[in-house]
Amino acid sequence: MKKHLFTSLAGSGLFFLILAGAQAAPQQYNDQDRWHQDRDTYYHREGWKAHVFDRVREDLDHVQASAFSGAEDHKIAMTKRELGELQGKLASGQYDQPELDRTIEGLRAIMADNRLSPRDRDMLSDDLNRLRDYREHHDGWR
């Protein structure tokens, strides 16, 4: 009888543990899914080109929070610093292609990291393509 009671309690505990985990997982997925949907919606609005560098920074912040930690996030920190320097120069009317090239290369290096989810890698690939497009057409961009 004691053995049967223990097995029943253990089975119930395992059931509730699995149930709690199943409820937590969809919430995390939904938050990530919602974040990516909001990002995709952003690019369907008018005027996104004027804020593309801000959006790339937000994407880097997202990746840094979800995939990188500690000393390993130096690639992201460096790329965000280069992005900031680029934005500062552009705000003062100065186009700096070497700075843009360094930012693009930094983004490529981040994408090479295996800790990224496929969805985050696709997002950064999209950012990379937008920065390359900016490099090619910066005169008519806005």
Give the pLDDT confidence score for residue 140 in this predicted structure. 78
59 in the same domain as 29? no
pLDDT at 106 over 90: yes
126 in the same domain as 86? yes
Q: Tens of pLDDT along 10-62?
A: 555 544 444 455 454 445 556 667 766 777 666 666 777 778 899 999 999 98
Q: Are 61 and 88 in contact (CB under 8 A)?
A: no
Give the pLDDT confidence score for residue 22 in this predicted structure. 47
Q: Tens of pLDDT along 65-96?
A: 877 665 557 888 999 999 999 999 988 989 99
50 in the same domain as 26? no
59 in the same domain as 28? no
* Rounded alpha-carbon distances, angstroms, from residue 40 to 23, 82, 105, 107: 26, 24, 23, 19
Give the pLDDT confidence score for residue 142 in this predicted structure. 64
Selection from 70, 64, 81 nearest residue 115 by Cα: 64
51 in the same domain as 119? yes
19 in the same domain as 53? no
Phi, psi of 35, deg, nearest 5 = -60, -45
20 in the same domain as 51? no
55 in the same domain as 22? no
Range of the domain at 10: 1-35
**How many domains does the structure of the chain reveal?**
2
72 in the same domain as 9? no
User: Who contacts 121 (Cβ-Cβ below 8 Å, separation ≥6)?
Assistant: 111
Q: Full-prediction pTM beyond 0.85?
A: no
